[in-house]
Amino acid sequence: MGDIFTKLKQSFQNGGIPVKLIYINAGVFLMIRLVGIICLLLSVPGIPILDYLELPSSIPLLLQKPWTLLTYMFTHFDFLHILFNMLWLYWFGHIFLQHFNERQLGGLYILGGLAGAFLYILLYNTLPYFRSVAPFSALIGASASVMAIVFAISFYRKDIEIQLFLIGRIKLIYLAIGTLIIDFLAIASDNAGGHIAHIGGALLGIFYATQMNRGKDFTKPINKTIDWFVNLRKPKPKMRVSYKRNETDYEYNERKNKQNAEIDRILEKLKHAGYNSLSSDEKKKLFDASK
């Protein structure tokens, strides 16, 4: 058992950003399901841990749990939900990394999730159709984050083709647009919040692609923020004391040249006349130089 956890730890540490994101999502999923089984055996209604991870559409509830803007995008409950999200993240994440770097993928994952969350909260609190269910609705899943990655690479490189089962080769951008149309048509379904979040992530991905084509990478601020939080956990380096000379380089070199010339003169005198011929001052200079 210990070997399994060691291998998993090594796989997580050595894997790229897509692998790390998959591990985090899978870990949260297993934790939720384990707590769900315990709650079922103890006849505890619901799964309390979900209340702390899912994103509420109610603004008053969101203000009480602002961290859910981040935690929801790593939270799944249904097996098929996490399976398809992680497969898409793995497949399209590797296509994304053929043109961008891992920091950009990680930053876009976070920003895509935030975009999906904001659109979900906005529509649920402004459109009359959703107002009646807004106080009781919540959102989970990495779909918005994954859609941001899919649409970013699709609109950045519109010539990329992929092989689909029973269909054959198709441009990735057509798959992305088809997915967006399906999400829009299903916006009034039972999973309306999920489809709205998909659209939010997709729009963020399109915007990212257009900005990157102009040479602008707006994932840099979020990555700097992540770096700041990560560095908080690292031990601070020990303070190093350095001493600054009170002379210029020219003055220092001139002084050293004079000292070397004086030592050469003393050595020459020592060679011809012996140690006893040296004055006390010359002996001291020779002794200091020998150190």
Query: What angle, 0 to 180 degrees and rounded to 10, lies between the N-to-C axes of helices 249-273 and 280-290?
Result: 120
To the nearest whole percent, how much of the chain has pLDDT over 70? 90
Categorize the per-residue pLDDT at 141 as very low, low, confident or very high, splitting at 50, 70 and 90: very high
Instruction: Write down the pTM of the prediction.
Output: 0.76
Mean pLDDT for the chain?
A: 87
Are the CB atoms for 145 and 222 separated by under 8 Å?
no
pLDDT tens for 40-65 read 898 888 788 999 999 999 999 999 99
Categorize the per-residue pLDDT at 10 as very low, low, confident or very high, splitting at 50, 70 and 90: confident
Cβ contacts of residue 210 below 8 Å, gap of 6+?
Answer: 155
- pLDDT of residue 143 exceeding 90, the answer is yes
- For residue 263, what pLDDT is reported? 80
- For residue 248, what pLDDT is reported? 64
Q: What is the DSSP string of 215-254?
A: T--TTHHHHHHHHHHHHHTSPPPPP------SS-HHHHHH
In 10 A of CB 97, how many CB atoms? 17
- For residue 239, what pLDDT is reported? 59
To the nearest whole percent, how much of the chain has pLDDT over 90? 55
> Residue 50 — φ and ψ, nearest 5°?
-65, -30
Mean pLDDT of 157-185: 88
- Report d(CA 93, CA 97) in Å as an integer: 6
Categorize the per-residue pLDDT at 74 as very low, low, confident or very high, splitting at 50, 70 and 90: very high
- For residue 1, what pLDDT is reported? 57
pLDDT tens for 222-259 read 888 887 776 766 666 665 655 555 666 666 667 777 77
- For residue 163, what pLDDT is reported? 81
Mean pLDDT of 114-129: 96
Q: What is the DSSP string of the chain?
A: -HHHHHHHHHHHHHS-HHHHHHHHHHHHHHHHHHHHHHHHHTT-SS-HHHHHHSEES-HHHHHH-TTHHHHGGG---SHHHHHHHHHHHHHHHHHHTTTS-HHHHHHHHHHHHHHHHHHHHHHHHHSHHHHTTGGG-EE--SHHHHHHHHHHHHHHSTT-EEEETTTEEEEHHHHHHHHHHHHHHTTTSTTHHHHHHHHHHHHHHHHHHHHHHTT--TTHHHHHHHHHHHHHTSPPPPP------SS-HHHHHHHHHHHHHHHHHHHHHHHHH-GGGS-HHHHHHHHHHH-
- For residue 180, what pLDDT is reported? 94
- For residue 108, what pLDDT is reported? 96
pLDDT tens for 173-226 read 999 999 999 999 999 888 999 999 999 999 999 999 999 999 888 888 888 888
